[in-house]
Amino acid sequence: MSDWQRTHTCGELRESHIGQTVTLNGWVNTYRSYNNQVFVDLRDRYGVTQVVFESEDAELQKLANSVGREFVLSVTGAVAARLKGKENAKLATGAVELKASAAKVLNACPTPPFEITEFGNELANEDIRLQYRYLDLRRKTLQDTMILRHRLCKTIRDTLDAQGFLEVETPLLGKSSPEGARDYLVPSRVYHGEWFALPQSPQLYKQLLMVAGYDKYFQIARCLRDEDLRADRQPEFTQLDMEMSFIEMEDIFRVIENLSKAIFKDCLDIDIPTPFRRMGYDEAMLKYGSDKPDLRYALEIVDVGAVAAKSEFKVFKDVLASGGVIRGLCAKGAADKFSNSDLKPGGKLSEHVGRYGAKGLAWMKVEGDKLTGSIEKFFPAAVQQELRQVMNAESGDVLLFVADKESVVCDALGALRIHLASLLKLYDPDAKVFNILWVVDFPSFMYDAEDKRWVANHHPFTAPRDEDIPHLDTDPGKVKAKAYDLVMNGYEVGGGSIRIHSPVVQSKAFQVLGMDEETAKSRFGFLLDALKFGAPPHGGIALGIDRWVMMLAGTTNIRDVIAFPKNAKSRDLMTGAPAGVDNRQLKDLGLK
Would you tell me which residues interact with RNA (CB under 7 A)?
30-37, 39, 41, 50, 52, 54, 68-69, 82-83, 86-88, 90-91, 94, 97, 111, 113-115, 117, 119-120, 122-128, 130, 179-182, 200-201, 203, 225, 227-233, 355-356, 411, 415, 455-460, 557, 567-569, 571, 573
Minimum distance between the CB of residue 571 and RNA, rounded to whole angstroms? 5
Residue type, 255: V
- Shortest Cβ 243–RNA spacing (Å): 12
Contact, 356 vs 443, CB < 8 A? no
| Smaller CB separation from RNA, 406 or 588 | 406
Q: Per DSSP, what are the bridge partners of residue 372?
A: 365
Measured distance CA(195)–CA(413) in Å, rounded: 43
Question: Rounded to the nearest whole angstrom, what is the least distance from the CB of residue 323 to RNA in the complex?
Answer: 21
The CA distances from residue 109 to 29, 66, 68, 115, 119, in Å, are: 12, 11, 7, 13, 21
Instruction: Report the alpha-carbon distance of residue 441 to residue 270 in Å, rounded.
Output: 30
Give min distance, CB of 372 to RNA, in A: 30
* Minimum distance from residue 567 beta carbon to RNA (Å): 3
By three-state DSSP, how is residue 21 classified?
A: strand
How far CA 562 is from CA of 134, 199, 225, in Å, comes to 12, 19, 16
- Nearer Cβ to RNA (202/324): 202
Q: Which is nearer to RNA, 139 or 182 (CB)?
A: 182
Task: Specify the residue, 110 or 164, whose C-beta has the smaller distance to RNA.
Answer: 110
Q: β-strand 453-456 against 236-245: which pairing, if any?
A: unpaired
User: CA-CA distance, 563 to 560, in Å (whole number)?
Assistant: 8
**Comparison of 310 and 344: residue with beta carbon closer to RNA:** 344
- Minimum CB separation of residue 13 from RNA in Å reads 13
In angstroms, the CA 237 to CA 69 distance is 34
Give the long-range contacts of residues 353-360, CB within 8 A, separation 24 or more: 353/402, 353/412, 353/413, 353/415, 353/416, 355/415, 356/408, 356/411, 356/412, 356/415, 357/404, 357/408, 357/411, 357/412, 358/402, 358/404, 358/408, 358/409, 358/411, 358/412, 359/404, 360/315, 360/402
DSSP state of 462: B
**Minimum separation from the CB atom of position 457 to RNA (A):** 6
Nearest distance from C-beta of residue 510 to RNA, angstroms: 13
Whole-number Å distance between alpha carbons of 370 and 388 = 10
Choose among 488, 543, 546, 486: nearest CA to 237.
546
Residue 212 or 229: the one with the smaller Cβ distance to RNA is 229
Radius of gyration in angstroms for the set of CA atoms belonging to the chain, rounded to a whole number? 30
Q: Closer CB to RNA, residue 80 or residue 153?
A: 80
Q: Which is nearer to RNA, 232 or 468 (CB)?
A: 232
User: CA nearest 327: which of 347, 367, 356, 348?
Assistant: 356
325-331 and 302-303 as β-strands: parallel, antiparallel, unpaired?
A: antiparallel
Q: Cβ of residue 360: shortest distance to RNA, in angstroms?
A: 17
> Measured from the CB of residue 24, what is the shortest distance to RNA in angstroms?
15
Question: Which CB, 57 or 266, lies closer to RNA?
Answer: 57
Q: Give the nearer residue to RNA in terms of CB position, either 373 or 460.
A: 460
Q: How many CB atoms lie within 10 A of CB 540?
A: 24
The SS3 call for residue 287 is helix
Least distance to RNA from the beta carbon of 229, Å? 6
Between residues 186 and 455, which has the closer beta carbon with respect to RNA? 455
Positions of E strands within 2-61: 21-33, 38-44, 47-53
The burial class, CB within 10 Å (0-12 / 13-18 / 19+), for 278 is middle
Nearer to RNA by C-beta: 225 or 388? 225
In the complex, the smallest distance separating the C-beta of residue 239 from RNA, rounded to whole angstroms, is: 10
